[in-house]
Amino acid sequence: MANFLLRNPLNPSKVVSLGITYTQLIDVNDRAREHIWVVEIATSETTVSGLPIPPEIIHLTNFESMDEEIKEAVERISAKINWEPLANDTRAPLVDEVFPSTYITSIYSDVKFKLIDLQPTAGIDLTSIQVFINDINVSPDLIVEGDEYGCDVTWRPRIRVLETV
């Protein structure tokens, strides 16, 4: 068994210990005698109502999806943990690397910038990003790449897109 720590950035003072074990079984119903790995992830932490959190059991026949399966199991356990009290995110994200860097530019130019969360507690809600150019809301046309702690935002003018089609 191995232990690892889980931390919620919204509550930097709380750390939860999770244990992970695996055993190897042989599927006796399978003529090929396929090996099955049973991964169990558990914690002694309780839910908001004080009930124990049941362990997550994963059955694997190959290791290709193991990382993703473990990540999803840890997310399910994390969603059941009482993380209160949550910290307030008091700092807005930083806008960095703006292109074009001048206010006057071609109508055909892409507008690009990077958002960085300097206080990575809650992160950036990527669905809430709004951009107005010359008082026009271009938010529905944004291309957002990255995660909630740092992302690249690009807007391509529709006029250019329509001319290339």
CB 21 within 8 A of CB 3: no
CB 94 within 8 A of CB 118: yes
pLDDT per residue of the chain (165 residues) written in tens, 0 to 9: 799 998 887 777 888 999 999 888 766 565 666 778 889 999 998 888 889 999 999 988 777 888 999 999 999 999 999 888 877 777 788 898 888 877 767 777 888 999 998 776 667 888 889 998 888 899 999 999 998 888 999 998 876 555 555
Q: How far is CA 128 from CA 2, 17, 58, 113, in A?
A: 39, 33, 34, 16
**Do you find a cis peptide bond into 140, omega within 30 degrees of 0?**
no
Q: Model pTM greater than 0.75?
A: no
Rounded to 5°, angle at Cα 23 from 40 and 46? 20
Report how far residue 98's alpha carbon sits from residue 131's, in angstroms, rounded to the nearest whole number. Answer: 13
